[in-house]
Amino acid sequence: MLNISPNSVSHRVSTKEFPSFQQTGLSGSHRMLTRWLLTVLGMVILFLMLPWTQNIQSKGTVTTLYPEQRPQTIPSTIGGRIEKWHVREGELVKKGDTIVFISEIKDDYFDPELIPRTEQQVGAKEGAIASYSSKVIALEHQIVAMRSELEFKQRQLTNKISQIENYLAADEADLAQAIIQDSVAMQQYNRTQELFAKDLKSRTDLEDKRVKMQETSAKVVSARNKLEARKQELTNARLDLSTVRYEYNQKIAKAESDKFSTLSERYDAEGAVEKLRIQTSNYERRSSFYYITAPQDCYITKAIKLGIGELVKEGDPVVSIMPKDYQLAVELYIEPMDLPLVNAGQEVRFIFDGWPAIVFSGWPGQSFGTFKGSVFAIDNNISINNKYRILVAPDESEKPWPKELRAGSGAQGIALLNNVPLWYEIWRQLNGFPPDYYDRNAQEDPKLKAPVRSLK
């Protein structure tokens, strides 16, 4: 029964009747193994064809969506000494409620009447300004009066000069007449003297002509002296006119100098008043800093400066707070290679510390206990850990995040990308290739996208 011949008779022989055939024949289990292996191979091939959602995983922490909602410390604006606490840790306070009262430690502000006395200085300076203003007005009136007086003096001297010039013309005419009369008298005397020598005129007539000639000569001298005096008087009048202008211009210049000096002093006083007003405002503002108040509705988380009598420096934190109303978010840090894959509004799944979850990263629809979020903002600058930070906000379209979640909790983020076959994802992981960078739908109709607001 070796089945050597092409004419087989095995089908005519019943091997079941012979135990030797049963012991030496092949078992049917090999067929079952073959079928099982083929089934497993088919299932593996089918499994490799299943869709797989590419993702980027990163660990992050829970924070708040907006900066004003994050935990913060309240510093002391001024240096001082803690006098009284008005709150306790864990207490809810309203905006404007007093947290702690501090007292002054600088000797420049020890005076309890500092503000009223500074206001008195302001009043005194304002009175000095009013005096300076009155003095300026008086000097302006004085300048106007001196200008009017100068104009009057100039008119007076001008009229005097005109009058002297008229007198001078009359004196010149008198001198010319005296010279003519003197010449006539001299001619008469000479003729009389000739006639006297011929005994045609008496000595008396000769003496009369001599006397008359002397009189006319004296009149010429007098007229000439009078003319010279008029000329000197005209010169003096013109000099007086120039002197008056100089004197009054000097007086007006001095008055204007006093006026500008007074204005300068008034401006200095006004500057001092403004400086004192600024000091008064600073003192009033500083006094309001003695009470450290809550900037918003918040919880007192921790007192950094403890006890009564402890000194705080300017800018030192006194207490830390947590805002009452806040909107949670998660900050994640991703590798620079993965940054082009993340866009605003992209879906992200989270596993929060303390909330159990069953996660299939490639099949987010089959995961349980995860919470959905969307990318709210992406940093444009790399962080100190050489990664880029993204801020993820809750997605209101699905179940809300746990109410018990607090800022600072840990979170595991899974940013969902493209859907690819499972074999492709295994091949990509084995070769170390990055996920798909581009959206095929976006390549058909490219559009410009506004840059995402940076969170720094």
Distance from C-alpha of 242 to C-alpha of 259, rounded to nearest angstrom: 25
Identify the burial level of 193 via C-beta atoms within 10 angstroms of its C-beta, where 0-12 means exposed, 13-18 middle and 19 or more buried: middle
Does residue 123 surpass a pLDDT of 80?
Answer: yes
Would you state the pLDDT for residue 192? 83
User: CB atoms < 10 A from the CB of 308, how many?
Assistant: 10
Would you state the pLDDT for residue 171? 85
Would you state the pLDDT for residue 99? 94
- Neighbouring C-alpha atoms within 13 Å toward the C-beta of 266: 16
Distance from C-alpha of 340 to C-alpha of 54, rounded to nearest angstrom: 14
Strand partners, 358: 368
Does residue 18 surpass a pLDDT of 80?
Answer: no
| CA dihedral sign, ordered 97, 113, 310, 313 | positive
| pTM of the full structure | 0.58
| 433 compared with 384, residue with greater pLDDT | 384
Does residue 361 surpass a pLDDT of 50?
Answer: yes
pLDDT-derived band of residue 109, with 50, 70 and 90 as boundaries? confident
Residue 336 has which token pair?
């620079």
Does residue 417 surpass a pLDDT of 90?
Answer: no
Average pLDDT over residues 221-232: 88
Average pLDDT over residues 296-321: 91
Buried b or exposed e, range 204-221, using 16+ CB within 10 angstroms: eebeebeebbeebbebbe
Does residue 414 surpass a pLDDT of 90?
Answer: no
Q: What percentage of the chain has pLDDT greater than the value 70?
A: 84
Average the pLDDT over each of 15-29, 46-60, 361-375 and give the range with the smallest value. 15-29
Please name each of the domains of the chain with its CATH number: 52-69+326-444 (2.40.30.170), 72-104+290-323 (2.40.50.100), 114-288 (1.10.287.1700)
pLDDT-derived band of residue 450, with 50, 70 and 90 as boundaries? very low
Does residue 276 surpass a pLDDT of 70?
Answer: yes
pLDDT-derived band of residue 4, with 50, 70 and 90 as boundaries? low
Distance from C-alpha of 354 to C-alpha of 413, rounded to nearest angstrom: 15
Among 163, 359, 214, 77, residue whose Cα is nearest residue 171:
163
Would you state the pLDDT for residue 194? 84
The identity of residue 23, as a single letter, is Q
Does residue 84 surpass a pLDDT of 90?
Answer: yes
Would you state the pLDDT for residue 454? 39
Would you state the pLDDT for residue 8? 63
Would you state the pLDDT for residue 446? 40
User: CB atoms < 10 A from the CB of 384, how many?
Assistant: 5
Average pLDDT over residues 301-322: 90
Average pLDDT over residues 128-146: 91
Please say whether the beta carbons of 73 and 319 come within 8 A.
yes
Among 321, 440, 455, residue whose Cα is nearest residue 392:
455
Would you state the pLDDT for residue 87? 92
Would you state the pLDDT for residue 440? 44
The identity of residue 131, as a single letter, is S
Does residue 30 surpass a pLDDT of 70?
Answer: no
Separation of first and last alpha carbons in the chain: 89
Average the pLDDT over each of 13-22, 87-96, 244-253 and give the range with the smallest value. 13-22
Average pLDDT over residues 105-133: 88
Mean pLDDT of the chain: 83
Distance from C-alpha of 456 to C-alpha of 454, rounded to nearest angstrom: 6
pLDDT-derived band of residue 449, with 50, 70 and 90 as boundaries? very low
